[in-house]
Amino acid sequence: MLGTGLGIYLPVVLYVGFLAGCLLAIAWRPTIGLYILILAIPQQGPRYRIGYLPLGKHLIVLLLLCVFIGVLIRGYSFPRSTLNKVLILFCAFIFFSFWWGVLSASVTAPFIERFYHWKDYMALPALFFATSATIRTRKQLGTALALVCISVLLVGRGFGLEIRQHDFAHFDENKRDSGPLGLGSNNTAAFEAEMSLVLLAIAIGQKKRARKIFLYGILALSLFCLLFSFSREAYVAFLVSLMAMALIRRRLLGFVVPALVVLLLAWRLVLPQAVTERISMTEDSTGQLDSSAASRLELWSDAAELIASNPIVGSGYDTYEYMGRVGSLRDTHNYYVKAMVETGVIGLFIFLAIVVKFFQTSWTLLKRTQDPLFSSLGLGMVLCTVCIIVVNFFGDRWTYVELNGLVWVLFGLVAYAHSELDSAELATAHQTASAQIRGAFAERTLSRVPS
């Protein structure tokens, strides 16, 4: 398990570690619970091993609750953020949408299973609030970022260990693996694409050589995983995000654009044979769409009928997968379409509002400070948001905590960075005002001294 050599003892070790984290989050520091969550969230495979133990399937949510209890005990406040109100609205609407689907006579679905899905989905905004409330110093932010990098490293290592038995001389669907996320190769690819962009931005902003080498090493592993996930959507999202980075950092245009041009022109020569075969599968030898692309068109056509039947609030959260509309397929393979089907125009609007706020807060952080760490974090999350926008055109890359848990933690760090900058600006303004008052008082005193 993760190459630790602990074998059958690892589930017990993980379980005891989770419980210890819960106690420490309440009795000592909530940040301890957050740190454990950062390492554990993407590791769905290892967490499955402790599912048979009491509350083993719900340890992520349990640890989150303990973090919030620790926050309340210590009187920590949530920093002001433009995201807060949008996320509260989002949680309230999804709660309504869940019950709308439960009470709908047109959908028959297991209540407990759907409740668990809703619970895991709500863990995402909870991670944002937990991060923004518990991270209270720059040192803690640096620790959280370091743990995010280690978490990405563990995912990459787990994926590498899983695919090492494959021969990649030619592409085969059986060679597509999920890695520790356990969500399918496309979701793993989306994770690696998003995290690679964050790693790249942070690595560029580092001054210390050892940290640069460490970050670029993890980046290389993540790109390896991305390449051999055989996910065409993740390839496109990563390249689009790289182009966005070049437009933001104009000095990179001279390098990124020629590299992309060479890749687009000579990809058959540059990329491994198995990868080129996978990319070429978008169309068959007769020019027809392959089965994957053709099934998506059929799904979207069918989804249009569902949207027309209830365009305002949709059929209810997490209902489409139980409808059996197109064969055995349980997803629309486009989250924007899925949001319209299940949550209607209102749900899609709220989702887009969150994405816009993600981009806006990250962009503002990038532009408002010269601090290398904060600026790199802002750039990384701008690129990550662009990647999220693209990958969700090809499937649900939004609702899974294993896939996006670290993304919401990172946006919590962005919120903390803004609060620290606000505090610094307020302190500077206070000092300036005090200096002006002292100067005016001194001038007035001197004017009263007889000449």
Measured between alpha carbons, how far is 88 from 93 in angstroms, rounded to an integer?
A: 9
Per-residue pLDDT, 302: 84
User: Mean pLDDT over residues 96-113, rounded?
Assistant: 84
Measured between alpha carbons, how far is 198 from 377 in angstroms, rounded to an integer?
A: 7
Q: Using pLDDT thresholds of 50, 70 and 90, give the confidence band for residue 451.
A: low
Per-residue pLDDT, 279: 86
Per-residue pLDDT, 2: 46
Q: Using pLDDT thresholds of 50, 70 and 90, give the confidence band for residue 1.
A: very low
12-26, 96-110, 195-209, 388-402: segment of lowest average pLDDT = 96-110
- What does the angle CA 191 – CA 332 – CA 118 come to, to the nearest 5 degrees? 65
- Provide the Cα torsion 270, 274, 279, 285; round to 10°: 110
pLDDT of residue 321 exceeding 50: yes
Measured between alpha carbons, how far is 75 from 136 in angstroms, rounded to an integer?
A: 12
End-to-end CA distance of the chain: 86
User: Mean pLDDT over residues 417-438, rounded?
Assistant: 78
Per-residue pLDDT, 3: 45
Q: Using pLDDT thresholds of 50, 70 and 90, give the confidence band for residue 291.
A: low
Per-residue pLDDT, 292: 63
Per-residue pLDDT, 316: 93
Per-residue pLDDT, 352: 97
User: Mean pLDDT over residues 37-48, rounded?
Assistant: 91
C-alpha of 214 from chain center: 21
pLDDT digits (tens, 9 = 90+) for 124-177: 999 999 999 999 999 999 999 999 999 999 999 999 988 888 888 888 888 888
User: Mean pLDDT over residues 315-320, rounded?
Assistant: 92
218-222, 375-379, 433-437: segment of lowest average pLDDT = 433-437
- Alpha-carbon distance values, 217 to 40, 54, 142, 223 (Å): 21, 38, 18, 10
Q: Using pLDDT thresholds of 50, 70 and 90, give the confidence band for residue 250.
A: confident
Per-residue pLDDT, 401: 96
Per-residue pLDDT, 450: 61
pLDDT digits (tens, 9 = 90+) for 52-75: 888 888 999 999 999 999 999 999
Q: Which residues pair with 326 in a beta bridge?
A: 329
- How confident is the prediction for the chain on average, in pLDDT? 88
Question: CB atoms < 10 A from the CB of 426, how many?
Answer: 10
pLDDT of residue 249 exceeding 80: yes
In 20-76, DSSP assigns E strands to: none
Per-residue pLDDT, 294: 65
Per-residue pLDDT, 256: 78
Residue identified by tokens 């787990």 is 158
Per-residue pLDDT, 131: 97
pTM: 0.92
User: Mean pLDDT over residues 376-397, rounded?
Assistant: 96
78-92, 315-329, 344-358, 419-433: segment of lowest average pLDDT = 419-433
Q: Using pLDDT thresholds of 50, 70 and 90, give the confidence band for residue 254.
A: confident
> Hey, what amino acid is at 412?
G
Residue identified by tokens 């989702």 is 351
Per-residue pLDDT, 199: 97
Return the structure tokens found at 208.
């210390």
Per-residue pLDDT, 38: 97
Residue identified by tokens 């503002």 is 364
Helix (H, G, I), strand (E, B) or coil at 400: coil
Between 276 and 255, whose confidence is greater?
A: 276
Measured between alpha carbons, how far is 42 from 34 in angstroms, rounded to an integer?
A: 14
Measured between alpha carbons, how far is 381 from 366 in angstroms, rounded to an integer?
A: 9
% of the chain exceeding 70 in pLDDT: 91
Q: Using pLDDT thresholds of 50, 70 and 90, give the confidence band for residue 449.
A: low
